[in-house]
Amino acid sequence: MRVITICQADWCNVGYNVAKALRIAGVEAESFKTSKHNFGYEEESKVVSHDILRYEIQKADIVFIMNSNTFCLELCKQLNKKNVYVYHTGTTYRRNPANMNEKFNPYIKRAFTDQTEFIGLGMKDEYYLFTPINTEDIQCEIKKPERKLKIAHYPSNAIVKGTPVIRNIFDELRRKYPVSVDCIIDEKQVLHPEQLDRMSECDVYVELFAPLNEGNKYGCFGVTAVEAASLGKIVVTNHTTPEVYERFYGTSTAFAIPQTEKELYDNLENFILADRDDLLEMKIISRAWAEKYHSYKAYGEQLKKLLYLS
């Protein structure tokens, strides 16, 4: 049984990661896209022409359309593919879920999403399954924080990630605790290996604070948050629908999830004042959680069951 993931631009390398997770679980799986990603991932989906993409779709037994991509949906329709699934992620679906449901639901077998806030918006046979992370290759040495706590924020998109709010809170904390905290923000766009390297230097990583985006509920943690947890960091992020995560995974995340600016400030202040041994334990818990629930192996085995391939 051959599974492929397809898209045009593989945002956050999701298509590649899904296919690799399935391979680790013993499934024949490949990933294809039509344009290279500018984040410089160490490994990514094969970049192919439209003609090659059509050929690969024809050969596949199961097709996964990534990122709510309607171009790939039309290709599958033209080729009369039957076992087609979709992975709804990000802006395209968030802006108009009803329109996306209308396009995809009549044709697909099931819709998956890595965004908790999309559950309940009408996807066909919806299932929340967060993007797998390469925890096996993300090596980390988990250290007890020094007296001066290092808190960092490296956004891929400052507006979407709520960087102005985070910057203001960092400024307040620096003024109040000049000896006890080092708050770092860098909006420079870097390649993926460098992003992992700079995240590895902090104790606390603030990924996101943006409960709304373009007037729609947002604030679900992204790939970077789980990568930071894999690095053994205390992670602060938004998660406006934690009950959805708990329903599908049977546990809560390892994140701090403030819902207001005051809660964000209070969370960070509490970390600054906390016993360093307690913070070390939190860092260890972050890494263990990421490995147990969001590794390639964990994801691949779960998806294999959902596709009735095990």
> Can you give the CATH number for the domain in which 71 is found?
3.40.50.2000
- At 83, list the tokens: 């076992």
Does residue 139 lie in a domain region? no
Helix axes 70-78, 50-59, angle to 10 degrees: 60
pLDDT at 6 over 90: yes
Q: Is the CB of residue 264 less than 8 Å from the CB of residue 165? A: yes
**Range of the structural domain that residue 183 is part of:** 149-294
Q: Is the CB of residue 158 less than 8 Å from the CB of residue 187? A: yes
The beta-carbon contacts of 227-230 under 8 Å, at least 24 apart in sequence, are 227/133, 227/138, 227/196, 227/199, 228/199, 228/286, 229/254, 229/255, 229/286, 229/287, 229/289, 229/290, 230/133, 230/135, 230/138, 230/140, 230/286, 230/287, 230/290, 230/291, 230/294
Q: Are residues 106 and 116 in the same domain?
A: yes
Does residue 138 lie in a domain region? no
Does residue 25 lie in a domain region? yes
pLDDT at 173 over 90: yes
The predicted model gives 115-140 an average pLDDT of: 92
pLDDT at 84 over 80: yes
Q: Is the CB of residue 233 less than 8 Å from the CB of residue 199? A: yes
Most confident of 201-215, 217-231, 291-305: 291-305
Cα–Cα distance, 138 to 300 (Å, whole number): 18
The predicted model gives 119-134 an average pLDDT of: 95
The predicted model gives 298-307 an average pLDDT of: 95
Does residue 179 lie in a domain region? yes
The percentage of the chain sitting over the pLDDT mark of 90, rounded to a whole number, equals 78
**Lowest mean pLDDT across 70-84, 107-121, 208-222, 294-308:** 208-222
Upper half-sphere CA count for residue 131 (Cβ side, 13 Å): 26
The predicted model gives 91-101 an average pLDDT of: 92
pLDDT at 42 over 80: no
| pLDDT of the residue at 308 | 87
| pLDDT of the residue at 39 | 67
- Other Cβ atoms within 10 Å of 235 Cβ, number: 29
Number of domains in the chain: 2
Band the pLDDT of 98: cuts 50, 70, 90.
Answer: very high
The predicted model gives 269-286 an average pLDDT of: 98
Q: Are residues 69 and 100 in the same domain?
A: yes
Does residue 287 lie in a domain region? yes
The predicted model gives 107-134 an average pLDDT of: 94
Band the pLDDT of 170: cuts 50, 70, 90.
Answer: very high
Distances (CA, A) of 265 to 137, 149, 180, 279: 33, 15, 15, 17
What is the length of the chain? 310
